[in-house]
């Protein structure tokens, strides 16, 4: 009896500690009444890792998921109230309290890597939120190593947002080993090597994709085979592996997408057909001294007075 009473007291104390953070949150809310606060740059949420203290989490014991749900209600309220900058600390709290709350992890990573990344105005801020989103999803995978969706989510964010293609490929491959993984995971695995023109790995990954999802009675498998056969024919049967124009198109498209996300250009060190301008990321014929798009010097060491990122790729190359 006294045992139970003292446990209840501990719980009460823990909830009290948790609720103590509320006034602080309220003052943060008042500081950031809405997303379009003109001064928001000077008030950037600094609190990606300020969730509940480990002691609070330990004291909550079996009631952690209840506390996580309570915090989640606040996430929903702040979400609909447009209070985006307060969400990372709340989401961090929810996922620390309940590390198996998949939806909370997904929203956490996505909110940082997509919404706040898009909303941030400087390259430094964008990198901060993108890195934060990736770190959140890495934490999610560590806590849920048997959840293919979470592994896919990390792969997708690395692929679509960070353009870290080789790491994305690792996670797509890992997610693809789960029986419940969808067939697009298999195809995204070779898309990573397509985007980086990593030809040996592209060929290997296409062969791998051809041998996956082969059930002739499953509509999804049939569709998968049609898409992969198409891509296989394009790259290997029709031998576009040595197609200079296709390479140029991929370089321009990939580096344009990177510019839109404020990610550094990929310079395609193994591509044999084009030199890639380190300033604008666009391809120029091999051995060019100046890039054909903007006249940037192609060698970074040749003492240019122009700063990188001064120019943007032309608008017609913006399709992804």
Interface ranges with Zn ion (CB under 5 A): 277, 279-280, 291, 294, 296
207/289 with CB nearer Zn ion: 289
DSSP code per residue over 171-220: HHHHHHTSTT--HHHHHHHHHHHHHTT-HHHHHHHHHHHHTSS--TT-HH
**Rounded-to-integer distance, Cα 313 and Cα 276, Å:** 12
Q: How far is the CB of 290 from Zn ion (least distance, A)?
A: 8
114/294 with CB nearer Zn ion: 294
Q: How far is the CB of 50 from Zn ion (least distance, A)?
A: 42
10/304 with CB nearer Zn ion: 304
The DSSP bridge partners found for residue 276 are: 283
The DSSP bridge partners found for residue 285 are: 274
117/296 with CB nearer Zn ion: 296
CB 189 within 8 A of CB 203: no
When computed from its CA atoms, the radius of gyration of the chain, rounded to whole angstroms, is: 24
Q: How far is the CB of 252 from Zn ion (least distance, A)?
A: 11
CB 87 within 8 A of CB 43: no
- Output phi, psi for 120, to 5 deg: -65, 150
161/296 with CB nearer Zn ion: 296
Q: Helix H segments across the chain?
A: 2-31, 54-60, 64-80, 87-97, 102-110, 117-119, 123-143, 148-157, 165-176, 183-195, 199-210, 219-232, 244-260
Q: How far is the CB of 195 from Zn ion (least distance, A)?
A: 20
CB 56 within 8 A of CB 17: yes
Q: How far is the CB of 277 from Zn ion (least distance, A)?
A: 3
Q: How far is the CB of 265 from Zn ion (least distance, A)?
A: 9
CB 88 within 8 A of CB 111: yes
250/277 with CB nearer Zn ion: 277
96/255 with CB nearer Zn ion: 255
Half-sphere exposure of 276 (CA within 13 A, CB side): 24
Q: How far is the CB of 197 from Zn ion (least distance, A)?
A: 19
85/268 with CB nearer Zn ion: 268
DSSP code per residue over 128-144: HHHHHHHHHHHHHHHH-
Q: How far is the CB of 276 from Zn ion (least distance, A)?
A: 9
């Amino acid at each position: 009896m006294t045992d139970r009473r003292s446990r209840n007291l501990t719980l009460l104390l823990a909830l009290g500690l948790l609720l103590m953070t509320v006034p602080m949150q309220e003052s943060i809310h008042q500081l950031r009444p809405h997303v379009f606060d003109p001064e928001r740059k000077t008030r950037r949420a600094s609190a990606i890792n300020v969730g509940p203290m480990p002691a609070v989490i330990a004291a909550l014991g079996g009631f952690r998921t209840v506390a996580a749900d309570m915090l989640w209600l606040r996430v929903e309220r702040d979400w609909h109230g447009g209070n985006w900058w307060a969400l990372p600390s709340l989401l961090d709290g929810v996922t620390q309290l309940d590390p198996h709350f998949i939806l909370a992890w997904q929203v956490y990573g996505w909110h940082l890597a997509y919404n706040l990344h898009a909303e941030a105005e400087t390259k430094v801020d964008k990198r901060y939120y993108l890195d934060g989103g990736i770190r959140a999803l890495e934490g999610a995978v560590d806590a849920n190593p048997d959840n293919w969706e979470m592994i896919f989510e990390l792969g997708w964010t690395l692929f679509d947002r960070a353009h870290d293609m080789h790491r994305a490929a690792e996670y797509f491959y890992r997610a693809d080993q789960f029986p419940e993984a969808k067939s697009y995971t298999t195809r995204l695995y070779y898309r990573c090597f397509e985007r980086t023109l990593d030809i040996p790995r592209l060929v290997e990954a296409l062969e791998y994709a051809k041998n996956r999802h082969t059930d002739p009675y499953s509509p999804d498998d049939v569709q998968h085979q049609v898409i992969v056969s198409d891509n296989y024919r394009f790259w290997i049967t029709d031998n576009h592996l040595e197609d200079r124009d296709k390479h140029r198109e991929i370089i321009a498209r990939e580096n344009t997408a990177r510019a839109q996300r404020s990610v550094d250009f990929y310079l395609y060190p193994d591509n044999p057909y084009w030199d890639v301008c380190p300033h604008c990321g666009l391809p120029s014929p091999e051995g060019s001294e100046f890039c054909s798009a903007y006249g940037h010097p192609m060698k970074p060491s040749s003492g240019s007075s122009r700063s990188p990122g001064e120019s943007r790729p032309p608008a017609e190359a913006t399709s992804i």
